[in-house]
Amino acid sequence: MKSLYIIKNGLPVFKREFSSCVDESVNETLVSGFLSALSSFMDDIKNFGSMKELKTSSDLKFSFKKVSQLLFVTCTDASCSQEYVEAVLERISTKFLEIFSKHIFKSTIVNQKHYKSFNAVLTRDFLSQDLRKGDILEKISTRGALIPRLLHPMSTITNDFYVKGDMPDAILPLIDGTTTIHKIARMAGMQENKIHSFLKYLVKEGVVALKRACGS
């Protein structure tokens, strides 16, 4: 998934960019309005049915799910299985409504600040699945086999997730998505097993994802 939009009446309620589909200079309200209008247009034309996906010439795909007044839209690579995308949209929409349905359907004003907390829920429940299934963290050797990457900007991690202290201050700046835990330990002058334990905690909190290093 590259982007997620949640739209109400053409206005963005929530947006999350993982690897942006749209140029950052483009106003998000314009993007939301366009996606909403496109979906509504397809709904209004007889015999067309509802729009579930839109593929672009740049090998991207927008997938749509309508729930009452809300439109959930994801942007993915065009090769991504539509069945998988629809399953993800179903889970995300269900979770969002479970938390915010009482407020969002009563409110006539769209204020993104009310839904900002969904960022943490989204990461924790849906996007940090890399090494969170079962006991996989326990089964992988710590000997340089794993590469951590941050799922949020540093400011979000320290302020929204309250990850603060000597360990985060020393370790987080060294996480660049290419450096192994073994090398980070050497750079920080710390024991590798302590860093591994700290990163396991961050993975469970939805702050960090881990992947195997090539050849490990």
Q: Which of 105-114, 141-150, 175-184, 204-213 has the lowest mean pLDDT?
A: 141-150
Q: CATH number for 3-127: choose from 3.30.450.70, 3.40.50.300, 3.40.430.10, 1.10.150.120.
A: 3.30.450.70
pLDDT tens per residue across span 19-53? 656 555 555 666 767 777 776 776 665 555 566 78
Beta carbons of 52 and 68 less than 8 angstroms apart: no
What's the whole-model pTM score? 0.56
User: How is residue 44 written in tokens?
Assistant: 């209004």
CA atoms within 13 Å, Cβ hemisphere of 13:
26
Predicted confidence at residue 135, as pLDDT, reads: 40
Same fold? 3-127, 136-212:
no
pLDDT tens per residue across span 164-208? 888 899 999 999 988 999 899 999 999 988 888 888 888 877 788
The full set of domain ranges for the chain reads 3-127, 136-212
Q: Please give the CATH architecture assigned to the domain spanning 136-212.
A: Orthogonal Bundle (1.10)
